[in-house]
């Protein structure tokens, strides 16, 4: 019996099913219509989510991927459909998110003629993807999809683009499953250097003030337990980056807080007091280092990362270990001695106590005045038992909610770190809730970012996605306003916002909502939100000129944080 003859569009469907895809976020159009026609016969094979904008399709795929660890999939048409995905693809590249974006393309016969809705999508996306490939023949579909998923999901994850010409979608081919488990010159899991691990262990064993920096690589590598075993044996305090916040539970006794421009005072200050930094799955972003010329100059630095390109890119290190942290950490743990660094660990509390007195107590327990973003975030977190997935947009809402949420489970914070994409939050929350329906998903967003992809309320309405949306409304583009206040002499240029009636908008989409202005109403409103079956918009009017503190000013040393 010969192989089955099917269309390229049908070959794509079968290839996706073979990869275990259960959800596709997409938007149809002329150059991808044969694929959507083939998808019609596979309505029972995977959930087909019609978004309201192609940017939303990729952000939703990101939310799906980052909350579940699986590859997110978006399918869009050519031309503007394809170019609308560029922000999401860039975001996925910078934040190491495994997504496969499949875009329609005009037929091969008219490539290069500026045909209707033709754009060189491969050329555009090569710098912002792990791999970008144009499928010109139906017989290449199964191979291209298998390779795309392998590349997107292995090593340091990231986005892959398949540009699917229309003739390849409609032409017929013999089909059989293709499995890809290697690509020439691509080494996703480098073998760790045993000598480097030995050298690192020696540094750790003689260190008096070691400090671990925990990045998203721990989450991506599913190395949560390996991290705990390592820091507990060596008795080393650990702080997390923004994207790594849920890699280590907030209440773990060795967790000393959050790193970065708006992180906690203790870990930022002690970065410049430790004698050994151990960076695990993080890239020394400028938001973590501050002025690199003054960053941890007194310390030896060990850097564990799966991506060789990150080694010595921003900060020169003494012992580089290129490898998967899930593999490296146990090898290192075997060689380190059981440590006792109580005095060093206790030193973090002194600095965090200063932050508590100057910032945290005021943010969480104000006596009077307007509601504050921090107190809203902490109350929502505690009402979920600190077990919710926090999805944020970008801005003050992001920084306040990430600071004051507490994390007890892995994969519990989804936020746009590298690109800082306003509009990320709402579609990402949709993807997260679809991927993880058993978990509570809380979106924190500001009035600016919420409106950037507000059309995705239509996706929530149609799909019945139970996202709990907390809109922190200060009638400003708050983070820009804060910088204007601190560094531009209060010149609020283009940051005040005249906002719409969000209750009417929510009502139009059939989503229940509640406006909270008074502090006395907040607890009951949060209870109502969490008790509501399905989506809910909690609209909170917060202090207009509330600032995210402490803060490392731009260009300053990481330990030189300001508190007001």
Q: Where are the domains of the chain?
A: 4-175, 194-348, 370-541
Locus of tokens 């309405």: 461
CATH 3.40.50.300 fits 4-175, yes or no: no
Share of the chain above pLDDT 90, in %: 98
Find the mean pLDDT for residues 268-276. Answer: 97
Contact 6, 175 (CB under 8 A): yes
Specify the pLDDT at position 39. Answer: 97
**Which residues in 38-67 are b (16+ Cβ under 10 Å) and which e?**
bbeeeeeebebbebbbbbbbbbbbbbbbbb
Which CATH code, of 3.90.550.10, 1.10.10.10, 3.40.50.1220, 3.40.50.970, is assigned to 194-348? Answer: 3.40.50.1220
**Which residues in 260-272 are b (16+ Cβ under 10 Å) and which e?**
bbbbbbbbbbbbb
Contact 541, 517 (CB under 8 A): yes
Residue 1 has pLDDT above 70, yes or no: no
Q: Residue 403: which pLDDT band, with cuts at 50, 70 and 90?
A: very high
Cα separations (Å) of 198 from 65, 195, 208, 471?
35, 5, 18, 50
pLDDT in tens, 322-372: 999 999 999 999 999 999 999 999 999 999 999 999 999 999 999 899 999
CATH topology agreement for domains 194-348 and 370-541:
yes
Count of C-beta atoms within a 10 Å radius of residue 494: 9
pLDDT in tens, 165-182: 999 999 999 999 999 999
CA distance 524 to 530: 10
Structure token digits, residue 254: 């060795």
Cα separations (Å) of 408 from 247, 248, 264, 401, 540?
9, 8, 18, 15, 25
**Of 516, 539, 413, 346, nearest to 63 (Cα)?**
413
CATH number of the structural domain 370-541? 3.40.50.970
306 backbone dihedrals φ, ψ, rounded to 5°: -80, -20
Taking each helix axis from N to C end, the angle separating 8-18 and 141-153, rounded to the nearest 10 degrees, works out to 30
Specify the pLDDT at position 367. Answer: 85
Specify the pLDDT at position 559. Answer: 87
Q: Where are the beta strands (DSSP E) in 411-545?
A: 413-414, 441-446, 468-473, 513-516, 536-541
pTM of the model: 0.97
Q: Residue 283: which pLDDT band, with cuts at 50, 70 and 90?
A: very high
**Residues facing residue 149 across a β-bridge:** none
Specify the pLDDT at position 2. Answer: 60
């Amino acid at each position: 019996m010969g192989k089955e003859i099917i269309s390229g569009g049908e070959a794509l469907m079968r290839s996706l099913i073979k990869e275990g895809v259960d959800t596709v976020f997409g938007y149809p159009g002329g150059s991808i219509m044969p694929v959507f026609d083939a998808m019609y016969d596979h309505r029972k094979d995977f959930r087909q989510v019609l978004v309201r904008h192609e940017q939303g399709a990729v952000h939703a795929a990101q939310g799906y991927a980052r909350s579940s660890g699986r590859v997110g999939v978006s399918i869009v048409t050519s031309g503007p459909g394809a170019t609308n995905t560029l922000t999401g693809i860039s975001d996925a590249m910078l934040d190491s998110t495994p997504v496969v974006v499949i875009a329609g393309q005009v037929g091969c016969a008219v490539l290069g003629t500026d045909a209707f809705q033709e754009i060189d999508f491969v050329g555009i996306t090569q710098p912002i993807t792990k791999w970008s490939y144009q499928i010109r023949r139906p017989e290449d579909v199964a191979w291209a999809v298998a390779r795309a998923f392998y590349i997107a999901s292995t090593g340091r994850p990231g986005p892959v683009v398949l540009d699917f010409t229309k003739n390849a979608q409609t032409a017929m081919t013999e089909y059989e499953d293709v499995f890809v488990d290697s690509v020439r010159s691509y080494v996703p899991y480098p073998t760790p250097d045993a000598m480097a691990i030995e050298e690192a262990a020696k540094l750790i064993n003689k260190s008096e003030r070691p400090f671990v920096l925990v990045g998203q690589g721990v989450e991506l590598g599913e190395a949560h337990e390996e991290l705990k075993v390592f820091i507990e044996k060596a008795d080393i305090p650990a702080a997390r980056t923004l994207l790594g916040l849920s890699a280590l539970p907030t209440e773990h006794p060795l967790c000393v807080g959050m790193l970065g421009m708006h992180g906690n005072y203790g870990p930022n200050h002690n970065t410049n007091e430790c004698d050994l930094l151990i960076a695990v799955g993080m890239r020394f972003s400028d938001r973590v280092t501050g002025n690199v010329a003054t960053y941890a100059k007194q310390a030896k630095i060990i850097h564990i990362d799966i991506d060789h390109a990150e080694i010595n890119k921003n900060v020169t290190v003494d012992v580089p270990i290129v490898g998967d942290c899930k593999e490296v950490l146990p090898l290192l743990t075997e060689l380190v001695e059981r440590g006792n660094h109580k005095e060093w660990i206790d030193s973090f509390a002194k600095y965090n106590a200063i932050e508590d007195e100057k910032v945290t107590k005021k943010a969480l327990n104000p006596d009077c005045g307007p509601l504050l973003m921090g107190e809203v975030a902490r109350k929502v977190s505690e009402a979920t038992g600190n077990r919710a997935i926090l999805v944020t947009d970008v801005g003050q809402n992001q920084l306040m909610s990430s600071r004051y949420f507490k994390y007890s489970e892995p994969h519990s914070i989804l936020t746009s770190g590298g690109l800082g994409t306003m509009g990320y939050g709402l579609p990402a929350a949709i993807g997260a809730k679809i991927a993880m329906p058993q978990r509570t998903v809380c979106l924190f967003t500001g009035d600016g970012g919420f409106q950037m992809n507000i059309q995705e309320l239509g996706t929530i309405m149609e799909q019945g996605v139970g996202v709990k949306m907390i809109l922190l409304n200060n009638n400003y583009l708050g983070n820009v306003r804060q910088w204007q206040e601190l560094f531009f002499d209060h010149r609020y240029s283009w940051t005040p916002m005249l906002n719409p009636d969000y209750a009417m908008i929510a009502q139009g989409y059939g989503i229940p909502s509640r406006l909270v202005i008074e502090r006395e109403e907040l607890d009951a409103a949060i209870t109502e939100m969490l008790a509501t079956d399905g989506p809910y918009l909690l609209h909170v009017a917060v202090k207009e000129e509330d600032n995210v503190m402490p803060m490392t000013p731009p260009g300053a040393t990481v330990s030189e944080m300001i508190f007001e």
